[in-house]
Amino acid sequence: MKNPIENTTNNIAKLREAIKESELDALMITSPVNRLYATGFSSSAGVALIAREGAWFFTDSRYIEAAALAISDAEISEQRSGSTYQKLVNAVCAERGLKTLGFEEKSITYSEYKTWEAGLDVALVPSQALLQDARAVKSRAELNKMIAAQRIAEKSFNEILPLIKTDITERRLANELLTAFLRNGADDKAFETIVVSGERSSMPHGVPEDRPLQKGFLTIDFGVKKDGWCSDTTRTVCLGRASEEMRRVYDTVLRAQLAGIAAARVGARGSDVHAAALNVISDAGFGKFFGHGFGHGLGLEVHETPNAAPSYAGELPAGAVISAEPGIYLPGKFGVRIEDVIYITESGSENITALPKELMEISV
């Protein structure tokens, strides 16, 4: 069993304020990622209960000691054999007179919902959006954790650059990058690393294969997890000399990324940020080859809200962290994606990615 992540910070007070602005008496958190967000503590089992006044964390004997050491601002109780989480939550609700309990409707199965519904004496209210909205705004302390993850990923990427030759396979290069992640202090990869070369670089989410890297574009999409927080970066390099067409596509993607970043600020609609990048790509004649959104929210998960996508009309709040990753993919020929991560501020955004973006040509 992986050791739980212990953290000195939590978001209990922030969630309590959100509850006070809702019609809820309390919020019940059962998913691992939201328990980590709320309490700063990660484990495979547990329930957090946050009320307008008071907070509680229940877990079993595997984590009770660690939880007591790691979690502040909450009462810690053990779920013992013969008892259930439903009984523990019911007891608090009865003692405190709690009648309406928010829950994560998108994070539990129907069977789990029925178990909770049958075991509780209070009304369950779908409240996933409350947590999503809270997590969409990162504090500076949380941003610093994401920057730390980003630096591990970037250091690892720079370390594997000398390995990029036509005598190494896509899968081997992906595995070498994972080894570098762990060597440099990551807890794990944030997602399955994408390494696609040659004509396969036109596949935005292509899977590394046991074939040698091909001349032409090589796209590497990579990220790590550190203390629960994710990084996400994509760089496209060229094995050998890039053709005039390849340079034109690369330059278009880079200009599109910069246009989207320039449009990203507090109050900007996610769809408008996407449109700023799409306009650059469309004006260059490649509009139909950009099929995904400009960016997605990033934090404790690789994909969170808010988004910078054509279907997202919501406004970007101060403190949001989103990816900036336009791409052009020419089927059967090649593809280019350049991805940074930006932090939304009142005056625009801060780019927390430190890797250069100029086209890199690697001798083969």
Distance between CA atoms of residues 354 and 158, nearest Å: 11
Q: What is the pLDDT of residue 364?
A: 85
Q: CATH homologous superfamily of domain 140-362?
A: Creatinase/methionine aminopeptidase superfamily (3.90.230.10)
Strand order in the sheet with 321-324: 304-308, 295-297, 321-324, 340-345, 348-351
What is the tens place of the pLDDT at every residue in 227-281?
999 999 999 999 999 999 999 999 999 999 999 999 999 999 999 999 999 999 9
Q: What is the DSSP letter of 167?
A: T
In the predicted structure, residue 5 carries a pLDDT above the cut 80? no
Q: What is the pLDDT of residue 2?
A: 40
Which of 237, 232, 233 is CA-nearest to residue 250? 237
Q: Are strands 361-362 and 233-239 parallel, antiparallel or unpaired?
A: parallel
**Contact between residue 105 and residue 30 where contact means Cβ atoms under 8 Å apart:** no
pTM: 0.94
What is the tens place of the pLDDT at every residue in 77-86?
999 998 999 9
Distance between CA atoms of residues 171 and 63, nearest Å: 37
What is the tens place of the pLDDT at every residue in 321-356?
999 999 999 999 999 999 999 999 988 999 999 999
Q: In the chain, pLDDT over 70 holds for what percent of residues?
A: 98
Instruction: Summarize the confidence of residues 284-300 as an average pLDDT.
Output: 98
Apex 260 CA angle, 259 and 262, nearest 5: 65
What's the whole-number average pLDDT of the chain? 96
Apex 343 CA angle, 339 and 344, nearest 5: 120
Side chain identity, residue 219: T
In the predicted structure, residue 176 carries a pLDDT above the cut 90? yes
Q: What is the pLDDT of residue 251?
A: 98
Q: What is the pLDDT of residue 9?
A: 66
* Domain 12-135, CATH: 3.40.350.10
End-to-end CA distance of the chain: 43
**Contact between residue 312 and residue 306 where contact means Cβ atoms under 8 Å apart:** yes
The count of C-alpha atoms lying within 13 angstroms of the C-alpha of 364, restricted to the half-sphere facing its C-beta, is: 21
Q: What is the pLDDT of residue 113?
A: 97
Q: In the chain, pLDDT over 90 holds for what percent of residues?
A: 96
**Contact between residue 17 and residue 133 where contact means Cβ atoms under 8 Å apart:** no
Distance between CA atoms of residues 240 and 283, nearest Å: 28
What is the tens place of the pLDDT at every residue in 179-219?
999 999 999 999 999 999 999 999 999 999 999 999 999 99
Could you tell me the residue ranges of all domains in the chain?
12-135, 140-362
